[in-house]
Amino acid sequence: MDQVSFGSTGLTVGVAGLGCGGNSRLGLGTGGTEAEAATLVEAAFDQGVTFFDTARAYGSEGAVGTAVGRIGRDKVAIATKGLIRFKGEHIDEATFLENFETSLRELKTDHVDLFSLHAVQPDTYARAKDIYLPLLLKEKEKGRIRHIGITESGPADPQQEMLSMAMADPDNPWEAVMLAFHMLNQIARRKVFPHTQAKGIATQLMFVVRNIFSRPNLLEETVAQLLDEGKLDPARVDRAAPLGFLLADGHAASLTEAAYRYGRHEPGAEVVLFGTGNPAHLKSNIEAINQPPLPQEDCTILEEVFGHLTGIGLDLPETYRKMR
């Protein structure tokens, strides 16, 4: 597993991080048991994964905690997250801290390496900083949180307005951010990465592979609509195979592989999160993230043809629909 320095935190972790949410939630989302989910976490560790990202809202902290108890706490970095709003209502401070205690209990640990405020939207950024950040700083003083981060909600904030606020904050209170980035959603190259690189803020990439790259016909249908709306240049896009050039001459074995390689090697990208409940997919995803960059000519086409798009392919997992 390739290793990466995680911003200025001092942590060194594997570049492929296991995301324990999404539709799969380590297989819990498709009927798997917590024991099976924990076994998947251990399998990921055996293949070099040392960064595990979960959240109170995912329902997967227990599986991570069970697995890490067998692996050894000092061998991995655990990241979890806490909501500040649920179903449109702000979570009060007491409940927020109760949820944090529950996270520690489920994870079977006395500290987390990264705790982030979860899916913060532009209209709650000020509250995130003024109300909840002080609570986290107190927990950091106690040694129960090593580093503090903030994560966006890509589908609800496709222009990355919240992260723009966070990056412009003169106090620079965030040590890590989680953001959406993929081949047809490159806005972070302009909005986020220049700031995280300049300030030493760690990055976790989510949405690197979405349904648009894996569900049959969805890419073609999406691109056809964009062409009909005049949002893409028909002279540069093949309706039948919009990203076919990535697979030409063996450049990449699949769009999934291409997507992971594209995200992994973007300047400013550090940990690339992937999610699965399938042991076979676990292996192939890790292998893809560890591969070299795509040919430069492919990256140039992706930026020139699709780099202006926003909000494309940011499908919201069912778990999160229930949280809104």
DSSP for 75-121 reads G-EEEEEEESEETTEEPPHHHHHHHHHHHHHHHT-S-BSEEEEES--
Q: To the nearest whole number, what is the mean pLDDT of the chain?
A: 96
Q: Per-residue pLDDT tens for 254-272?
A: 999 999 999 999 999 999 9
Helix and strand numbers, DSSP H then E, in the chain: 14, 12
Q: Per-residue pLDDT tens for 106-151?
A: 999 999 999 999 999 999 999 999 999 999 999 999 999 999 999 9
Euclidean distance between CA atoms 178 and 149, whole angstroms: 8
Euclidean distance between CA atoms 90 and 148, whole angstroms: 20
Confidence at 316, pLDDT banded by 50, 70, 90 = confident
Q: Where does the chain have alpha helices with state H? A: 34-46, 61-71, 93-107, 125-127, 133-141, 161-168, 188-191, 193-199, 211-214, 218-228, 255-264, 279-289, 296-306, 318-321
List phi, psi (to 5°) of 103. -60, -50
The pLDDT assigned to 264 comes to 98
Interacting residues of 123 by C-beta distance below 8 A, sequence separation 6+ = none
Confidence at 92, pLDDT banded by 50, 70, 90 = very high
The pLDDT assigned to 315 comes to 86
| 164-180: average pLDDT | 96
Q: Per-residue pLDDT tens for 186-208?
A: 999 999 999 999 999 999 999 99
Total domains in the chain come to 1
Query: For the chain, what percent of residues have pLDDT higher than 70?
Result: 98
The pLDDT assigned to 323 comes to 56
Confidence at 209, pLDDT banded by 50, 70, 90 = very high
DSSP 8-state symbol, 48: T
CATH code of 51's domain: 3.20.20.100
Q: Per-residue pLDDT tens for 217-258?
A: 999 999 999 999 999 999 999 999 999 999 998 899 999 999
Euclidean distance between CA atoms 113 and 109, whole angstroms: 10
Euclidean distance between CA atoms 222 and 213, whole angstroms: 11
Euclidean distance between CA atoms 165 and 23, whole angstroms: 29
More confident of the two residues 59 and 324: 59
Confidence at 322, pLDDT banded by 50, 70, 90 = low
Interacting residues of 87 by C-beta distance below 8 A, sequence separation 6+ = 323, 324
Q: Per-residue pLDDT tens for 294-310?
A: 999 999 999 999 999 99
The pLDDT assigned to 249 comes to 86
Domain span at 61? 3-321
Confidence at 321, pLDDT banded by 50, 70, 90 = low
Pairing of strands 89-90, 85-86: antiparallel
User: Is pTM, for the whole model, over 0.85?
Assistant: yes
C-alpha distance from residue 192 to each of 110, 201, 274 (Å): 32, 10, 20
Mapping DSSP to helix (H, G, I), strand (E, B) and coil, where does residue 264 land?
helix
The token pair at 110 is 């006395």
